Chain A
Amino acid sequence: MIELSRVSKVYPGGVTALDDVSLEIRRGEMVAIAGPSGSGKSTMLNTIGTLDRPTSGTVRVDGHDVATLSDNRLSALRGTGIGFVFQQFHLAANVPALENVADGLLYSGLPRAERRRRARAALERVGLAHRMDHEPHELSGGERQRVAIARAVAGDPPLLLADEPTGALDSASGAGVMELLRELHASGTTVLIITHDPEIAGRLPRQVRMRDGRIVADHAGAA
């Protein structure tokens, strides 16, 4: 599903955020990426998510060598193959949950009625059937993140990338969100979750630990 081989990323300032990283993640895995702040977790996730290109090395996602794809094709790959969940939710203010989720399918080529239908199904899937018409400011933090997850999975992508999805949540809602991600994994989605919380990481089937842009540990978890 994902294959990083000798991937490095050097930012223009000279910071080496990824340093010769190789990693393979198989279809259907659920992986925690842990490590201290600034260790390159987000950079790695963005590289896997084709939001950014590596300085060197090859990235293969879903069988495609990212380096060979044009920006348009990468966009299509993200649109159909990858769902993103961010720490800050990135929901549109004053827009009902249903529209926020349906808007996530805007670039899928589906007609609006079908987008809304799938958005409704996705919201039901994340347990927000009763919050469809609520705007973000009327939702709790955990509910907002669920809306964002619904948006990410409404198109049924095989890969879900979550960058500190519980970072802005209290522990109870964070646990709820983790539970939801586990359910998505159980239904077949490959899930990568960045977290700096060792406890959360420890409960996932596989943990990749990073430090200073390198992978320092990669082992199966307790779960």
Chain B
Amino acid sequence: MAGREEVTPRRAPGPPQAGRDLTPPRLRPRDVLRVGAVGLRTRPLRAFLSALGIAIGIAAMIGVLGISSSSGAELDRQLSALGTNLLTVSSGQTLSGEEAKMPVEAEAMIERIGPVLSVSSVGQVQDAKVYRSEEIPEARTGGISAYAARLDLLDSVGATLRAGTWLNAATHAYPAVVLGSATAERLGVGAVGPDTQVLVGGRRFTVVGVLEPVALAVELDTAALVGWPVAEERLGFDGHPTVLYTRVDERHMDAVRDVLAGTGNPEAPNEVDVSRPSDALAAKQATDQAFTGLLLGVGAVALIVGGVGVANTMVISVLERRGEIGLRRSLGATRGQIRTQFLAESLLLSAIGGVGGVCVGAAVTVGYAAYEEWPSVIPAEATVGGLAATLVIGAVAGLYPAIRAARLSPTEALASP
């Protein structure tokens, strides 16, 4: 900027210069910023507090959107890792309300459907209660079910082990058990090893593994999984599968879905429930989205309250600075330049709040996503939209005070204390 000397109407010595050009020069953008920041510099605490109001609103909205997007990204990641081609066939209830049973051959019959890639299953062991030890009262371990599990279960449902090993050809005939994640928590099982035993159906089983939560088969989280043979031999398991996990060629999902119930239980297809767990996951995400909408509304209200705070600050600022306004008018400021000054101040206030809010919201998102081990996503639309909303709020909040400031008569402004 230096060196760019402008030709300005300086007083030439000599005769009066009637006809002097009386067009007020425009303020440069940097000077608008400078003069708009005067109020922020003289009252930093007040500026900080009113910017804080905006920041809270923006941070809330960015945080909510960021966390929701991150959780959506996590879902997408999960679904692409787990696959969306799992169909679950569960024995439902009979018309009279009893537990229905699928035939023992159900698994083999489903396997014969062309587009079915694989089938695995678990069968609930009726009346086999699961306890940590003989001393723990029954009531404390409610909700845990013992299941006989096929050896290929993990691949079918996309489950992974948190600790230990899965059942194998050697252990599935012996009293070995793999606990679901919630089961392990409820029973207080931390380590896995020969010394860790739990009671299943009154017999001691050695805990050989603990599962991570299974997104596509949540019933396994509260399960205690034992081998199919040992369940039949020692726990009186009847061999009927309770849930069949079917991986299907994606292109034929609908066709397979239509025939699964009839194939799984030809005698009573209406007693069988067929579901696609990835749909349920997505549906849960959709419910979360509704909640996100609610939180977003709360954030928007906070933002509006922040805007009211800025308006309040601006009204007070104009009242307090009437002397300054009068002085500036005497120094040659036009009404428009006074209006610009206070609008700029209001915009600066809310922009500072907006930028701060975006930073805090982004930090909250990144922190929360890191804590949940999600990929963190801060939607660009939210950031841009948030900043745009900030500027609109700043303009709206500042407009009325700025107009009032500009309308002040210079003499009255100068006369006020």
Cβ of A188 under 8 Å from chain B: yes
**Distance to closest chain B CB from A108 (angstroms):** 6
Write the chain A residue with the least CB distance to B417.
A88
Which B296-339 residues have C-beta < 8 A from chain A?
323-324, 326-337
| B27 and A76 form a contact (CB under 8 A) | no
- Of residues A75, A86, A104, which shows the largest number of chain B Cβ atoms within 10 Å of its Cβ? A75
**Residues A51 and B411 in contact in the complex (CB < 8 Å), given A106-B27, A188-B13:** yes
| B2 and A75 form a contact (CB under 8 A) | no
| A63 and B17 form a contact (CB under 8 A) | yes
Assembled-state Cα–Cα distance A108/B8 (Å): 8
**Distance to closest chain A CB from B375 (angstroms):** 47
| A111 and B1 form a contact (CB under 8 A) | yes
Assembled-state Cα–Cα distance A107/B410 (Å): 15
| B22 and A69 form a contact (CB under 8 A) | yes
**Residues A106 and B336 in contact in the complex (CB < 8 Å), given A62-B16, A63-B17, A76-B23:** no
Assembled-state Cα–Cα distance A203/B60 (Å): 69
| A77 and B22 form a contact (CB under 8 A) | yes
Cβ of A94 under 8 Å from chain B: yes
**Distance to closest chain A CB from B83 (angstroms):** 64
- Of residues B20, B42, B326, B327, which shows the largest number of chain A Cβ atoms within 10 Å of its Cβ? B327
Contact with B along A44-80 (1 / 0, CB 8 A): 0010010110000000001110000101110111111
| B22 and A1 form a contact (CB under 8 A) | no
Query: Which chain A residues lie closer than 8 Å to B19 at the CB level?
Result: 63
Cβ of A202 under 8 Å from chain B: no
Cβ of A27 under 8 Å from chain B: yes
- The secondary structure that dominates the B interface is loop
Cβ of A197 under 8 Å from chain B: no
**Distance to closest chain B CB from A217 (angstroms):** 26
Assembled-state Cα–Cα distance A92/B39 (Å): 11
**Residues A90 and B327 in contact in the complex (CB < 8 Å), given A52-B409, A109-B6, A158-B11:** yes
Chain B contributes a number of interface residues (CB within 8 A of A) equal to 46
Cβ of B414 under 8 Å from chain A: yes
Query: Which chain A residues lie closer than 8 Å to B30 at the CB level?
Result: 112
**Residues A113 and B2 in contact in the complex (CB < 8 Å), given A106-B27, A106-B331:** yes
| B9 and A64 form a contact (CB under 8 A) | no
| A76 and B24 form a contact (CB under 8 A) | yes
**Residues A111 and B27 in contact in the complex (CB < 8 Å), given A76-B22, A90-B414:** no
Cβ of A110 under 8 Å from chain B: yes
| B24 and A72 form a contact (CB under 8 A) | yes
| B20 and A80 form a contact (CB under 8 A) | yes
Which A33-47 residues have C-beta < 8 A from chain B?
46
Assembled-state Cα–Cα distance A111/B29 (Å): 11
| B27 and A107 form a contact (CB under 8 A) | yes
Query: Of the candidates B16, B324, B331, which one forms a contact with A27 in the assembled complex, judged by CB atoms under 8 Å apart?
Result: B16
| A112 and B331 form a contact (CB under 8 A) | no
Chain A contributes a number of interface residues (CB within 8 A of B) equal to 44
Assembled-state Cα–Cα distance A93/B324 (Å): 11
**Distance to closest chain A CB from B44 (angstroms):** 11
Cβ of B267 under 8 Å from chain A: no
| B13 and A72 form a contact (CB under 8 A) | no
Cβ of A141 under 8 Å from chain B: no
**Residues A156 and B10 in contact in the complex (CB < 8 Å), given A92-B324, A106-B31, A114-B5:** yes
Cβ of B28 under 8 Å from chain A: yes
| B24 and A107 form a contact (CB under 8 A) | yes
| B13 and A109 form a contact (CB under 8 A) | no
Query: Of the candidates B23, B330, B333, which one forms a contact with A84 in the assembled complex, judged by CB atoms under 8 Å apart?
Result: B330
Cβ of B4 under 8 Å from chain A: yes
Write the chain A residue with the least CB distance to B19.
A63
Cβ of A167 under 8 Å from chain B: no
Which A112-144 residues have C-beta < 8 A from chain B?
112-114
**Distance to closest chain A CB from B57 (angstroms):** 31
| A109 and B25 form a contact (CB under 8 A) | yes
Contact with A along B8-51 (1 / 0, CB 8 A): 11110100111111111111101100010010001000000000
Query: Which chain A residues lie closer than 8 Å to B13 at the CB level?
Result: 188
| B22 and A107 form a contact (CB under 8 A) | no
| A80 and B9 form a contact (CB under 8 A) | yes
Assembled-state Cα–Cα distance A62/B4 (Å): 29
**Distance to closest chain B CB from A122 (angstroms):** 13
Write the chain A residue with the least CB distance to B323.
A90
Query: Of the candidates B31, B38, B332, B409, which one forms a contact with A79 in the assembled complex, judged by CB atoms under 8 Å apart?
Result: B332
Assembled-state Cα–Cα distance A173/B24 (Å): 35
Query: Of the candidates A51, A69, A77, A108, which one forms a contact with B25 in the assembled complex, judged by CB atoms under 8 Å apart?
Result: A108
| B410 and A72 form a contact (CB under 8 A) | no
Query: Which chain A residues lie closer than 8 Å to B17 at the CB level?
Result: 62-63
Query: Which chain A residues lie closer than 8 Å to B414 at the CB level?
Result: 51, 86, 90
Query: Which chain B residues lie closer than 8 Å to A113 at the CB level?
Result: 1-2
**Distance to closest chain A CB from B17 (angstroms):** 7
Query: Which chain B residues lie closer than 8 Å to A174 at the CB level?
Result: none
A-B CB contact pairs (8 Å), 7 listed: A1-B16, A51-B409, A51-B411, A62-B16, A103-B331, A110-B8, A111-B6
User: Across chains A and B, which 4 residue pairs bring their CB atoms closest together, nearest first?
Assistant: A79-B332, A109-B25, A63-B18, A107-B332
Not counting A71-B335, A107-B333, a sample of 20 additional A-B residue pairs whose C-beta atoms are within 8 angstroms of each other reads: A27-B16, A51-B326, A62-B16, A72-B23, A75-B24, A76-B25, A79-B332, A80-B332, A88-B323, A90-B414, A92-B42, A106-B31, A106-B328, A107-B24, A108-B332, A109-B6, A109-B25, A109-B26, A110-B8, A114-B6
